[in-house]
Structure 1
C-alpha cells in the first residue's frame, strides 16, 4: 500500500467505494488522514462500515465542514454531462476534488529515495485503443529483463494498492481519460499516447474534451520521454507541442503503417516489421509477423509503443524481441481461444467501438464475424471499408437489426444471442477462416461488462465438439 501524504490529521471524503475508492480510503488512513466514505449502494456502504470506515453524510446541512478534499472514483461524473451532486457541492464550496491517481503521484516519492542507487520510474499509458495491451506488454518486457516492476491503474490493482517503491523499481500504469482528466498531480517519467478515436464523448463534452483529458498526462507533468502515436491528427499535434524541433529525442514518434525516418527518434511497423530510427538511421528491426500474442496491425502498433517506452530505460533491442515472442496477449483482446477443424476462434470482446473493431477486421484474411450488443452513437457505418474480409456476419444483442441495415451487401444473419451466433458460425466456417468476436458495441444489453461477454464466447467455443 502507498500511504497518502499531505493529509495527516485531516478529514478526507471518498466518493465511490469500488476497487479504487476502497484502496484510496485505506491508503488515506495509512497516511494519517481520517477518510469519510460514501457510495450510493447500501451494500458498498455496509462493506466499508464493516472495514471500519466512518460514513460521509451528503444530506447534512454542511457536509464538507472540516473536510480537506473530496476523492472521486473514475466512474462518477465530475464535469460532463453534469457533475454528480456531491461533486457539484464540493466544486461550489471550493473543496479540492481529486482521484486516486492524483493521490498516488503526490505520495509515490519519499525521503527514502535519497538512499537508492537508481530512482524509481513511472511509465503511464493512455489512449483510446490498445492501452491495456501496451501496458501489459511493457510490464512483461520489464519482467523478462529482470527489472523490479509493478502494474496498476485501469488494469490490475488500484494504484494505491501498490507496494512502496524500492531501489530501481518501475511502475507501469494504464490510465483512462476519466483518470487523467481529474488527477491534480500527473508526473510520469515516461508517458505513452497510443491513439485517439471517438469514445466516451458524452463524459467529456465531445472529441475536443476527450483529447484534452488525454493530453493532460503530457501537459501537467512534463515527462522526461513522451511516446506518441502519430497516425491521427491529435497525436501529431501533441508530438509537435511537446518537441522543440524535428530532432528533439524527448519525443519518440510511433506509427503502424507509415515510415518515420526523420532526424528524431521513431519506432514504426510496416509490412509486419518493427523498425527503430534515430538521427536519420535505422538502429534495430524486429519481425513481428510470427508473434502469436500480437496479431494484426493494431497489435504491431502496441508493440511499437511498448518497445519505445522501454528503450529509454536502456533495454537492448534483442532482449525486447525475446520478450515480445513470449507475450501471451491479454484476454478479450485478439485472444486466440481455440483452433478447431482448421478454423481459428478469436475473442476480441474489448473491441467495443468502431475503431477497435476495424483493427480487428484487418488482422485476419477471411472472417466469420460476431458483432453487436448495445450500439454506440453513429453505429457501424464507418466499418464499410473493412468488411471485404468478412465472409458472413452473425449479429447479436440490442443493435443487431440496426447493424444489419448498416453493413450493406455483407452476408449476415440475425442471431440475437451469443450461443446461437457461435453455433451458426462454427457450423458454416471453413478451414482457413477465423470466427472473430469483435462486437463494435458495448456489452451492457446482455452482459455486465466486456469481460463476461468474452468469457461467454470462450466457454461456448470450448464446448464445441471435436471433429
Structure 2
C-alpha cells in the first residue's frame, strides 16, 4: 500500500466507496488521516463502517467543517453533465477536490528513495483506444527484461494498493480521462498518449473537454519523456506544444499512418514492420507480423508506443522484440480464444466504440462478425472502411434490428442473443474465416460489463466447439 502523505491528523472526506474509494480510505488511514466516507449505496456504507471507517453525509457545505480535502471516485461527475451535490458542497466550503491518482503522485516518493541507487520511475498511459494493451505490454517487456515492475490504475491493481516501489522499480499506470481530469498532482516520468477518438463526451462537455482531460497528463505533469501518437490532429498539436524544436528528443512521435520524417525521435509501423528513427537515421527495426499477441494495425500502434516507452527507459531493441513474442495479449482485446477446422475465433469485446471495432475489422479477413449492443452517439458510419472484410454480420442486443439496418449492403442477421449469434456463426463458418466479436457498442443493454459479454462469447464457443 502507498500511505498517503500530507494529511496526518486531518479529516479527509471520501466520496464513493467502490474499489478506488475504499483503497483511498485505507491509504489515507495508513498515512495518519481520518477518512470520513460516504456512498449513496447503503450496502457500500455498511461495508465501510464494518471496516472501521467513519461514515457521514457529505451533501451540504456544513458537512465539510474541519475537512481538509474531498477525494472523489472516478465515476462521480464533478463538472459535466452536472456535478455531484457533494462536490458542489465541498466547493462552496472551499475544500479542495482530488482523486486517488492525485493522492498517489503526491505520496509515492519517500525518504527511502534517498538510499536508492536508481530512483523508481512511473510510466503513465492514456488515450482513447489501446491504453490497456499498451500498459500491459510495457509491463510485460519490463518484467521479461528482469526489471521490477507493477501494473496499476485503470488496469490491474488500484494505484494506492501497489507496494512501495523498490530501488530501480517501475510503476506502469493506465489512466482514463476520468482519472486525469481531476487529479491535483500528475508527475509521471514517461507519459504516453496512444490516440484520440470521441468517447465519454457527456462527461467532458464535448470532444474538446475530453482532449483537455487527456492533455493534463502532459501539460501539468511535465514528464521527462512524452510519447505521442500523431495520427490525429490532437496528437500532432500536443507533440508540437511539448517540443522545443524539430530535434527535441524529449518527445517521441508514434504513427501507423506512415513514415515519420525529421531529426527527432520517432517510432512508426508500416506494413507490419516497426522502425525506430533518431536524428534522421534508423536505430532499430522489428517485424511485428509473426507476433500472435499483437494482430492488426491497432496493435502495431500499441507496440510502437510500448517500444518507445521501453527505449526511453534504456532497454535494448532486441530485448524488447524478444518480449513482444511472448506477449499473450489481454482478455477481450483481439484475444484469439480458439482455432478449429481452419476457423479462428477472436474475442474483442472491449471494442465498445466505432474506432476500436474498425481496427478489429481491419486486422482480419473473411470475418463473421458478432456486433451490436447499446449504441453510442454518432452511429456506425465510421465502420465503412472495414466492412469489405466482413462476410456476414450477426447482430446482438436490444437494438439489433436498428444496428443491422445501418450496415447497408453488408449481409446481416438479427440474432439478438449471444447464444444464437455464436451458433449461427459456427454453423456458417468456412476454413479461413474469422469469427470476431467486436461489438462497436456498449454492453449495458444485456451485460454488466464488456468483460461479462466477452466471457459469455467464450462460454458459448466452449459449449459448441
CA apart distance, 1:208: 0.1
CA apart distance, 1:182: 0.3
Q: TM-score, normalised by structure 1?
A: 0.99
Secondary structure of residue in 2 paired with 1:362 = helix
CA apart distance, 1:382: 1.8
Aligned to 1:163: 163
CA apart distance, 1:294: 0.3
The whole-number CA distance in structure 2 between the counterparts of 1:110 and 1:226 is 25
CA contact (8 A) 2:74 2:178 kept: yes
Q: Aligned runs of 1:184-223 on 2, under 5 Å? A: 184-223=184-223
The whole-number CA distance in structure 1 between the counterparts of 2:323 and 2:373 is 35
Q: Aligned runs of 1:363-442 on 2, under 5 Å? A: 363-442=363-442
CA apart distance, 1:58: 2.7
The whole-number CA distance in structure 1 between the counterparts of 2:316 and 2:56 is 51
The whole-number CA distance in structure 2 between the counterparts of 1:407 and 1:416 is 16
The whole-number CA distance in structure 2 between the counterparts of 1:300 and 1:230 is 14
Aligned to 1:358: 358
The whole-number CA distance in structure 1 between the counterparts of 2:56 and 2:124 is 32
Pair 60,313 (structure 1): closer, same or farther in 2 beyond 3 Å = closer
Deviations 1:234-290 (A, max 9, x none): 000000000001110000000113101310000000000000000001010000001
Aligned to 1:305: 305
The whole-number CA distance in structure 2 between the counterparts of 1:226 and 1:179 is 18
Greater shift after overlay, 85-94 or 272-281?
A: 85-94
CA apart distance, 1:59: 5.4
Aligned to 2:133: 133
Aligned pair 1:177/2:177, yes or no? Answer: yes
Deviations 1:358-380 (A, max 9, x none): 00000001100000010001221
The whole-number CA distance in structure 2 between the counterparts of 1:339 and 1:88 is 53
CA apart distance, 1:347: 0.2
Aligned to 2:460: 460
Q: Aligned runs of 1:336-347 on 2, under 5 Å? A: 336-347=336-347
CA contact (8 A) 2:133 2:330 kept: yes
CA apart distance, 1:91: 1.6
Pair 119,379 (structure 1): closer, same or farther in 2 beyond 3 Å = same
The whole-number CA distance in structure 1 between the counterparts of 2:399 and 2:89 is 38
CA apart distance, 1:383: 1.0
CA contact (8 A) 1:77 1:203 kept: yes
Aligned to 2:50: 50
CA apart distance, 1:462: 1.5
The whole-number CA distance in structure 2 between the counterparts of 1:130 and 1:60 is 40
CA apart distance, 1:406: 1.0
Aligned pair 1:285/2:316, yes or no? Answer: no
Q: Aligned runs of 1:263-282 on 2, under 5 Å? A: 263-282=263-282
Secondary structure of residue in 2 paired with 1:375 = coil
CA apart distance, 1:405: 1.6
* Structure 2: gaps of 5 or more residues: none
The whole-number CA distance in structure 1 between the counterparts of 2:231 and 2:402 is 30
Secondary structure of residue in 2 paired with 1:324 = helix
CA apart distance, 1:432: 0.3
CA apart distance, 1:398: 2.2
CA apart distance, 1:385: 2.1
Secondary structure of residue in 2 paired with 1:246 = coil
Greater shift after overlay, 436-445 or 61-70?
A: 61-70
Greater shift after overlay, 111-120 or 377-386?
A: 377-386
Secondary structure of residue in 2 paired with 1:387 = helix
Aligned to 2:14: 14
Secondary structure of residue in 2 paired with 1:388 = helix
* Structure 1: gaps of 5 or more residues: none
Aligned to 1:246: 246
Greater shift after overlay, 279-288 or 257-266?
A: 257-266
CA contact (8 A) 2:38 2:56 kept: yes
Name the count of aligned residue pairs.
Answer: 465
The whole-number CA distance in structure 2 between the counterparts of 1:262 and 1:400 is 48
- 4+ residue stretches of structure 1 with deviation over 2 A? 58-61
Aligned to 1:232: 232
Aligned to 2:323: 323
CA apart distance, 1:50: 0.7
Deviations 1:413-456 (A, max 9, x none): 00000000000011001100100000000000000000000000
The whole-number CA distance in structure 2 between the counterparts of 1:177 and 1:230 is 18
Deviations 1:138-188 (A, max 9, x none): 000000010011110000110000111211110000000000000000000
The whole-number CA distance in structure 1 between the counterparts of 2:159 and 2:422 is 38
The whole-number CA distance in structure 2 between the counterparts of 1:180 and 1:191 is 12
CA contact (8 A) 1:257 1:271 kept: no
The whole-number CA distance in structure 1 between the counterparts of 2:60 and 2:413 is 55
The whole-number CA distance in structure 2 between the counterparts of 1:202 and 1:426 is 38
CA contact (8 A) 1:13 1:56 kept: no
Secondary structure of residue in 2 paired with 1:356 = helix
